[in-house]
Structure 1
Amino acid sequence: MAVALLLVLLVSVFRLIENRTQAFSAASVLISGIALAGVAASLTLQGQQTKAARDERDRATHRQMIYLTMGDRALAECLEPPNTPMPFERYRQIIFANLIMGRWYAAYQLGDVDESTLRYTLERHFRGEIGRSHWEYGSHDWLQGAIGGQHRKATAFVKIVEDSYRTAVNAGPATPAADYFTNAGTDVGSLDS
């Protein structure tokens, strides 16, 4: 398509300019301009790819550090203290719920998840005690990050999460974590019975 357009432009230049030397000069300028635009587009794309790779490296490093702190209370004490004292097990659950929220945030930012899918996912997430506890604990940080950020999608994400959380709270109490699972039948095959 681009090649056909270029050929049409070149033929038009040659038809409009009767002096062949001037026509070749004009065509040369046109081709140089297109080449320069191509280089600029390539550099822009490379910059975006470099930023994406750097961001993913940073996220991977962050995840690894979080996984280490979730397994070691002494390392978890290197993080900021909880807003309110809580058992270490609950703190681990909230940190893991934050990792889940971070994954949804990244998927929404990249366009892998649309608003309706995100709302559906959050509706299910906030039915449970841990999801609600996480948002009660960490919503301030998410809200501050969105307000201080420069991306409209970040702000939109946090608004969707906050709306979903408020809807869940207004719908009634959360399912207690102790009621998530039963002790009966540990074999997946027993679910088919």
Structure 2
Amino acid sequence: MERVALRRIAAWVALAAGSTASVLITPFILNWMAPSGLNWGKLSNISQTYGGLSILVSTAALIGVVASISYQARQVRIEHQEGQRAWHRELILWSLNDPELLTCWEPPRIPVSRERYKKILFVNLIMAAWITDLRLRRTSEGAALANLRDHFRGEVARAHWAEGREKWRAFSEAQEGDALGLRFVDLADQAYREAITAGPPVTEDDYFRDSSQ
């Protein structure tokens, strides 16, 4: 994808350079080819019109260069965020597979069992995927809010947000230009408050029903 973007930028640059060069050399070509007795006043008017059109083409080419560079910058930002998410996911999964590593993370504000902490960490992965989708505009604010409202019906989901909401907000506020990340935290807080007002959560024991019953 990066090579394609670079080729696109090179094409726009070549077009801009070619258009500018044509404007510069046209008067010399006309002077060389013009027959004797040519009405230079009329030719000057034509040349001015031609030059104006060429400048418009050059401007359009320059705009294309800027657009291509902006596109490339966005792709780099997306790849950077995806890379961050990937290594964070790997660290959490590594800790879940080796519970002895759980104490390498920050301790919970309220002590919980090791099993509950593992579940809270896994919920963190789910939330991290959702906030990334909103940051990269792969989902809308409305869709994110709908997911969060359903999410906070669960007991572990509420425990995770009660534990980590302040940290999520502090991190998003510390990220310069992360307006969508901060918006996600606002949406999560809204959905969490609505869930608390609606009543008790669905407990882990109430998630499933034994098929033998």
* Same fold? TM cut 0.5: yes
Matched, 1:39 2:77: no
Q: CA deviation at 1:18?
A: 5.8
**Residue 120 of structure 1: which of 142, 146, 155 is its match?**
146
1:70-128 Cα shifts (integer Å, max 9, x gaps): 11123222222222322221111001111111122122333343333333322221111
| Structure-2 residue corresponding to 1:188 | none
Matched, 1:65 2:91: yes
* Alpha-carbon separation, structure 2, partners of 1:110 and 1:54: 11
* Alpha-carbon separation, structure 2, partners of 1:155 and 1:143: 7
| Structure-2 residue corresponding to 1:22 | 48
Q: CA deviation at 1:41?
A: 1.2
| Structure-2 residue corresponding to 1:77 | 103
**Residue 114 of structure 2: which of 88, 95, 100 is its match?**
88
SS in 1 for 2:104: coil
Identity fraction in percent: 36
* Alpha-carbon separation, structure 1, partners of 2:72 and 2:142: 32
- 8 Å contact kept, 2:78–2:136: no
For structure 1, list consecutive stretches of 5 or more residues without a partner in the other structure. Answer: 1-16, 186-193
**Misfit runs of 4+, over 6 Å:** none
* Alpha-carbon separation, structure 2, partners of 1:154 and 1:141: 13
| Structure-1 residue corresponding to 2:9 | none
- 8 Å contact kept, 2:96–2:102: yes
Structure 1 pair 30/162, CA: closer, same or farther in 2 (3 Å)? same
Larger Rg: 2
Matched, 1:173 2:200: yes
1:153-188 Cα shifts (integer Å, max 9, x gaps): 222221111111111112221122122123325xxx
Structure 1 pair 93/158, CA: closer, same or farther in 2 (3 Å)? same
Name the amino acid aligned to 2:195: A
Matched, 1:135 2:169: no
| Structure-1 residue corresponding to 2:188 | 161
Q: CA deviation at 1:64?
A: 1.2
- 8 Å contact kept, 2:123–2:160: yes
Number of positions where the alignment pairs a residue of Structure 1 with one of Structure 2: 169
Structure 1 pair 151/26, CA: closer, same or farther in 2 (3 Å)? same
Structure 1 pair 54/26, CA: closer, same or farther in 2 (3 Å)? same
* Alpha-carbon separation, structure 2, partners of 1:183 and 1:71: 27
Matched, 1:146 2:172: yes
- 8 Å contact kept, 2:85–2:128: no
1:126-158 Cα shifts (integer Å, max 9, x gaps): 111101100011111112123334333222221
SS in 2 for 1:19: helix
| Structure-2 residue corresponding to 1:182 | 209
| Structure-2 residue corresponding to 1:52 | 78
After TM superposition, the structure 1 stretch with the greater mean CA deviation from structure 2, 33-42 or 143-152, is 143-152
* Alpha-carbon separation, structure 2, partners of 1:51 and 1:108: 14
